Chains A and B, each alone.
Chain A
């Protein structure tokens, strides 16, 4: 593998991101610019940006790797990641937009009129963000090491630095353009090599995936222990967790109105569906040509050189490397903006300066975590972040929007129980894992038990504390469910400094 091409690819992506980000600098001046790009982004731009932001290292590298190792079971990851958007679209996106809240903690406070709920939600947003950022940095380290032989920490450091500079200089507005660009880069970086790979595969006489193929191509046929439980749990985590991912929700505010938000979601589903077909094919080709690849995360990066070879192979590898870095940069940028938003508003004093200080904190902590924990398959770690989001914010949003009798005590108890249980399972898996046996499966895929527990706790505690129903519940419920375009005062849930 040629080092020069790979390095050139990484440098180009970094420069392009910085330059496109730079366009936003003179455009973003107010706090509102930093947070939601002043709601002026068109649906296709927005959809590309959402796609660019959402397709992380887990989608770009992880899915193909898991399909290579575990077979068709793992198709559930991309299906769930796409389906989560559907749940978000029909159940929560419209009422949440109407609430006027910018972030999940804003919503929690507006709905329950309690600073305690707000702070709990804030802590969870930061934890989920860090859990999602950590594997991005780790994957960056692995890819850079594979390409240049650099020590593992360097890749993560590079990504963290670029993201911090980008976020510090432009906020959300510039990030919208950077991320739209990165979606198309990622799509190209998988599609072009795939054409060559398939041609090479045909020239090779289209070999099948060898021994054990029938089992491998059949879901639940022995890929993983407790496959049925794990699959159900995965579906629950991905479907219900998407709505609780901080960097996903805030994007819906950058649409000018509800109709645009729906058109954006449609475009996102098409863009994601088109993208996710490719990792599956990579995984299958990997099964044929690289059956012994350990871990699997590097399959997308290794295949071009293995199948095509020569200068063409080097160039294709460089293209895939560029796509991978686009994935690390875009997802990390979106998460950093969200985490920094919460830290800036809730822990520091709010305003542009706090946001900038918070952005530094937001990347430094996961960078530290990335160097401390042993790398698990990237898609598995991201799955854990989904599980935490599903166990905490899904009950808060669903009950908060649709159930009048939710109380601040119930919401806090549910967030702490669900989020705490899921985080505990995550910690045990990250520190000593992956564990084996039933306990291992329960810890690696906690959503199937932690989500119902969170719902039950939230409902039961709310019923036990009827006196704590917020006094303004009637008003906020009308606000959540009045027609989207109604131009009334929807409350003052804006970043405090604006």
Chain B
């Protein structure tokens, strides 16, 4: 196993790598806007409950009103967002991470030899 000192240098090299910066950028550019968006979507429901009563009380089917339908959609949207994140991570984050890893391991191998 590598010593602490060697590790630090590996970390520094990785941090300086453009692809690592790109990886962090891709992560942030997805996660931060999405977090803001889904929080807004949940808060919108509360706002509608407070100030758009008539809309929320509209009966859709029997005693089921718009409020209940929107409430159920909250579950669905939670799942969809998580699924989208999973897809994004698998498509855009994992391959790049794998590339950086392969190179770092190769480099460590060479140093040991």
A489 at the interface (CB under 8 A from B): yes
Contact with B along A235-258 (1 / 0, CB 8 A): 100010000000000000000001
A219 at the interface (CB under 8 A from B): yes
Whether B57 contacts A79 by the Cβ 8 Å rule is no
A431 at the interface (CB under 8 A from B): no
Whether B2 contacts A489 by the Cβ 8 Å rule is yes
Option from A75, A258, A262, A488 in Cβ contact (under 8 Å) with B7 = A488
Whether A239 contacts B39 by the Cβ 8 Å rule is yes
**Given A86-B78, A89-B85, A486-B104, does the pair A217, B31 have CB atoms closer than 8 Å?**
no
A312 at the interface (CB under 8 A from B): no
Rounded to whole Å, the gap between the CB of B34 and the closest CB of chain A is 7
The prevalent SS among residues of B at the interface is helix
- Residues of A contacting B56 in the complex (Cβ-Cβ under 8 angstroms): 218-219
A232 at the interface (CB under 8 A from B): yes
Rounded to whole Å, the gap between the CB of A15 and the closest CB of chain B is 34
* Complex alpha-carbon distance, A348 and B101, angstroms: 39
Rounded to whole Å, the gap between the CB of B105 and the closest CB of chain A is 7
Whether B79 contacts A219 by the Cβ 8 Å rule is no
* Complex alpha-carbon distance, A170 and B59, angstroms: 52
How many residues of A sit at the interface, in one of the four size bands?
Answer: 35 or more
- Residues of B contacting A157 in the complex (Cβ-Cβ under 8 angstroms): none
- Residues of B contacting A239 in the complex (Cβ-Cβ under 8 angstroms): 39, 42
**Given A209-B63, A481-B24, does the pair A269, B78 have CB atoms closer than 8 Å?**
yes
Option from B50, B67, B82 in Cβ contact (under 8 Å) with A72 = B67
**Given A218-B65, A485-B101, does the pair A478, B49 have CB atoms closer than 8 Å?**
no
Contact with A along B77-100 (1 / 0, CB 8 A): 011011101100110011011101
B19 to A, closest residue via Cβ: A483
Whether B75 contacts A90 by the Cβ 8 Å rule is no
- Residues of B contacting A90 in the complex (Cβ-Cβ under 8 angstroms): 31, 34-35, 82, 85
Whether A91 contacts B35 by the Cβ 8 Å rule is yes
20 contacts between A and B (CB under 8 A): A72-B68, A75-B71, A89-B82, A208-B62, A209-B63, A213-B63, A214-B57, A218-B65, A220-B49, A232-B46, A266-B86, A277-B75, A482-B20, A483-B101, A484-B97, A485-B94, A485-B97, A486-B104, A487-B101, A489-B4
* Complex alpha-carbon distance, A221 and B81, angstroms: 30
**Given A263-B86, A478-B14, does the pair A83, B78 have CB atoms closer than 8 Å?**
yes
A475 at the interface (CB under 8 A from B): yes
Whether B71 contacts A72 by the Cβ 8 Å rule is yes
In the complex, besides A75-B68, A86-B78, A89-B82, 4 extra interface pairs with C-beta distance below 8 angstroms are: A83-B74, A86-B38, A239-B42, A266-B83
A259 at the interface (CB under 8 A from B): yes
CB-based closest 3 A-B pairs: A483-B97, A219-B49, A273-B75
Q: How many residue pairs bridge A and B at CB < 8 Å? A: 136
A490 to B, closest residue via Cβ: B7
Contact with B along A79-93 (1 / 0, CB 8 A): 100110111011100
* Complex alpha-carbon distance, A344 and B86, angstroms: 36
Rounded to whole Å, the gap between the CB of B1 and the closest CB of chain A is 6
A199 at the interface (CB under 8 A from B): no
Contact with B along A111-140 (1 / 0, CB 8 A): 000000000000000000000000000000
- Residues of B contacting A269 in the complex (Cβ-Cβ under 8 angstroms): 78-79, 82
- Residues of A contacting B98 in the complex (Cβ-Cβ under 8 angstroms): 483, 485
- Residues of A contacting B11 in the complex (Cβ-Cβ under 8 angstroms): 475, 478-479, 482, 488
Option from A231, A266, A486, A487 in Cβ contact (under 8 Å) with B79 = A266
Rounded to whole Å, the gap between the CB of B95 and the closest CB of chain A is 10
Rounded to whole Å, the gap between the CB of B88 and the closest CB of chain A is 10
Rounded to whole Å, the gap between the CB of B55 and the closest CB of chain A is 11
Rounded to whole Å, the gap between the CB of A261 and the closest CB of chain B is 10
**Given A83-B42, A90-B34, A483-B101, does the pair A217, B63 have CB atoms closer than 8 Å?**
yes
**Given A82-B75, A89-B82, A228-B46, does the pair A219, B67 have CB atoms closer than 8 Å?**
yes
* Complex alpha-carbon distance, A277 and B71, angstroms: 11
- Residues of A contacting B62 in the complex (Cβ-Cβ under 8 angstroms): 208
Rounded to whole Å, the gap between the CB of A92 and the closest CB of chain B is 10
A276 at the interface (CB under 8 A from B): yes
